[in-house]
Copies of this chain bind each other. A is one copy, B any other.
Amino acid sequence: MLKNSEFIDKLRSSGLRPTKQRLKICEVLFNRDKTFHFTINDLAKIISAKLNEKISLATIYNTVHAFKNKGYLKEISINSDKSYFDTNITNHHHFFDEDTNQLIDCNKGDIETINIKNNITGKKINSVEVLIKVASDNQNQK
Contacts and interface: CB of A to CB of B under 8 A. Distances in A.
A127 interface: yes
A75 to B, nearest CB: 8
A95 B77 contact: no
Nearest to A119: B134
Interface stretch (A20-28, A46-54, A56-64, A106-114): A106-114
Interface string A33-47: 000000000000000
Contacts of A112: 114-115, 117
Interface string A62-86: 0000000000000101111111000
Contacts of A109: 117-118
A120 interface: yes
Contacts of A75: 80
Contacts of A78: 77
A136 B115 contact: no
Nearest to A141: B126
B130 A128 contact: yes
A80 B39 CA distance: 11
A118 B79 CA distance: 23
A126 to B, nearest CB: 5
B110 A136 contact: no
Interface of A: 75, 77-83, 95, 97-99, 104, 107, 109-112, 114-120, 122-138
